Structure formats: C-alpha cells, structure tokens
C-alpha cells in the first residue's frame, strides 16, 4: 500500500472538569469527549527518498518538521520498527488551530493509524493508544473517537452512548489559546462550580438532549473567557438564535452550540458571520459512537 487518505476528525467537550493538580504538574480531569464531523484530510504516501517529509496544502505557518505532532507520530513508529524509506505526509487543515478541538492530536492519531496499516505493523488499537499518549494526552481518544469519558490526564477512556442526533454550530474567534497557559492559570482550589459529569452520562444513556445541554459545563471557561470576552459574545449569539446549549470546547477559544433542527443551526451560523465576532464558522453534527476501532478501520479502507 503506497498511499492512504485519512479523515482526522476534531472533538468537542460536552463536559470538562478538573479534579486536581498532580505533583508531576499534570492536571487530573474528568470530561466527556465527543467527535464531530469536522475533519482534517491527511494523505500518507511512500516516497522514493529517505526519511519523513511533511507539507501543508493550506496552512503555511504550521511547523513542517519534527515539531509537528503528525511528524512525531510517524517518526515514533518508524524508529520502533526500523523503517528508513521515504514517507510524505500532506496536511489539508480544516479543524481550527489552537482552538480546543484537538486538531493536532487528531492528525497524529490518523498518522499512527495510517503508518500502522501502510507498513502492516500489526499493532492493535490499544497498542497504538499506548504509543500515542507518549506524544499527547488527547491522542488515545482521537484514535478511539465517538463519545467517551476521559479520566486521568485524559488517557483513561470509557466508551459512552452517542448523544441524540443534533445540528452543531462551531465558531472560532480571531484568537488562539495556549492550553499550557490556560491550565497554568487555573486555580483548581478556587473552582466555584464543577459540572455534573455523572449527570451528563445519565443524559447520554436516556438520550435526553435538552437536559444534556442544561448540564454541560467547562471549568476552563473561568480562565479563558476573561482573557477573550468574545467567547462569551459568541455564546450569547448562539443562545439567542435558539441553541439548546452553548459552551467553550477544551481550553478554547472555540465555542459550539447545539440545535435540534439544521435550519436553526444555519440561521445561527449566518448571524455569527454578520456579527464578525467569529473568524471561522462551521455547521456540522456529532460523529457517532459504536465500535470505534471497526468504524475507524472501515472509514480508512473506503478512503484508501
């Protein structure tokens, strides 16, 4: 197999709680991760040269060297299995960058999956996740995808039922946020209100979309919103346009709104563009759970 085309899907958080700051500096979290339809397109091609080359079709400011997570993912497996032949990685970025949607982690997960198949390395999903967490806490989830409870630093995953069908509006302002900065400024002992993660899980089990939206919460908003008030402005627009719920994803600054009807989502997207508070606006949907590894494999085979 000389070439593969892979969809690296982004994520949002339906709930994000930080339990404590560990002695090693990492934060212990309890959050519900949800894959969405928005994706980067990754192409892997065996090259006639040697080593790894990485190019970007539409984001020239990305690091196109060993500092890119996609490069690191390929390099990790190639070194382990002694591969020295040429590999070209082409990135077509659609997920907003530095926006709380795990775009870089999704790319790395896609490359781990693709390199494993391209070279017939025979690694299972669990074995890929064990290697992925060495590069980033979100990578094991991005390999799994669907709906999941993430605990620990994000690497302990439990599959959950998919939320009911809904339309999403995802908006990103003209700002980037450093996850490291947000967690560095988070004072865990001063968190005023923790989201009801267990209650959110119950809503997923009962397929109660309205109650799910009422229970959504993200403790990182208390850090990111004061630094970027436009996040709150986008949330207000979404709620005014009929969103059942609107929240910042991850460390931000991306905001998503959940709508029962696609027509409502389309009207909200248009309203956001008119306000000019959002640099990027997307209308999409939840990407469903199920057997994550099988779904991932089937999609990849269809795109090879």
Q: What pLDDT, in 10s, does the model give residues 239-297?
A: 999 999 999 999 999 999 999 999 999 999 999 999 989 999 999 999 986 544 434 43
CB contact at 8 A, 171 and 248: no
Along the chain (304 residues), what's the average pLDDT of each consecutive run of 10 residues?
A: 92 97 88 97 92 91 92 98 95 92 97 97 97 96 97 94 96 90 93 95 98 98 96 97 97 96 97 92 86 40 32
CB contact at 8 A, 32 and 201: yes
Q: For the residues of 164-191, what is the DSSP string, one character each?
A: PP-EEEEEE-S----HHHHHHH--GGG-
Among residues 1, 9, 7, the alpha carbon closest in space to that of 116 is found at 1
- Specify whether the backbone of 154 is left (phi greater than 0), alpha (psi in -120 to 50) or beta: left
Q: How far apart are CA 198 and CA 196, in angstroms?
A: 6
- pLDDT computed for residue 294 by the predictor: 35
- pLDDT computed for residue 289 by the predictor: 60
| Six-digit token string for 29 | 């979290």
CB contact at 8 A, 277 and 236: no
Model pTM? 0.91
- pLDDT computed for residue 49 by the predictor: 84
- pLDDT computed for residue 103 by the predictor: 95
Strand partners, 52: 87
- pLDDT computed for residue 126 by the predictor: 97
HSE-CB for 59 with a 13 A CA cutoff: 18
Residues carrying an active site annotation: 11, 138
């Amino acid at each position: 197999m000389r070439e593969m085309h892979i969809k690296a899907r982004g994520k949002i958080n339906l709930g994000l709680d930080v339990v404590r700051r560990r002695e090693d500096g990492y934060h212990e979290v309890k959050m519900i991760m949800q894959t969405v339809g928005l994706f980067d397109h990754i192409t892997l091609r065996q090259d006639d040269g040697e080593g790894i080359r990485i190019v970007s079709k539409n984001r020239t400011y990305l690091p196109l060297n060993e500092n890119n997570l996609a490069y690191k993912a390929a390099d990790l497996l190639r070194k382990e299995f002694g591969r020295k032949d040429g590999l070209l990685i082409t990135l077509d970025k659609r997920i907003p960058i530095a926006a709380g949607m795990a775009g870089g982690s999704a790319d790395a997960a896609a490359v781990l999956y693709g390199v494993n198949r391209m070279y017939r390395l025979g690694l299972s999903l669990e074995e890929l996740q064990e290697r992925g967490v060495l590069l980033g806490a979100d990578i094991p989830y991005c390999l799994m995808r669907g709906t999941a409870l993430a605990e620990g630093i994000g690497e302990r995953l439990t599959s959950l039922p998919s939320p009911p069908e809904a339309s999403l509006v995802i908006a990103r302002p003209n700002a980037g946020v450093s996850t490291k900065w947000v967690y560095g400024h988070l004072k865990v002992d001063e968190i005023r209100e923790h989201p009801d993660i267990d209650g959110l899980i119950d809503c997923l089990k009962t397929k109660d979309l309205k109650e799910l939206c009422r229970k959504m919460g993200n403790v990182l908003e208390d850090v990111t919103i004061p630094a970027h008030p436009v996040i709150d402005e986008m949330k207000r627009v979404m709620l005014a346009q009929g969103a059942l719920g609107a929240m910042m994803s991850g460390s931000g600054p991306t905001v998503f709104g959940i709508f029962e009807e696609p027509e409502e989502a389309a009207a909200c997207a248009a309203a956001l563009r008119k306000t000019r508070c959002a640099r990027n606006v997307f209308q999409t949907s939840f990407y469903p759970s199920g057997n994550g590894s099988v779904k991932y494999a089937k999609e990849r085979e269809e795109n090879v």
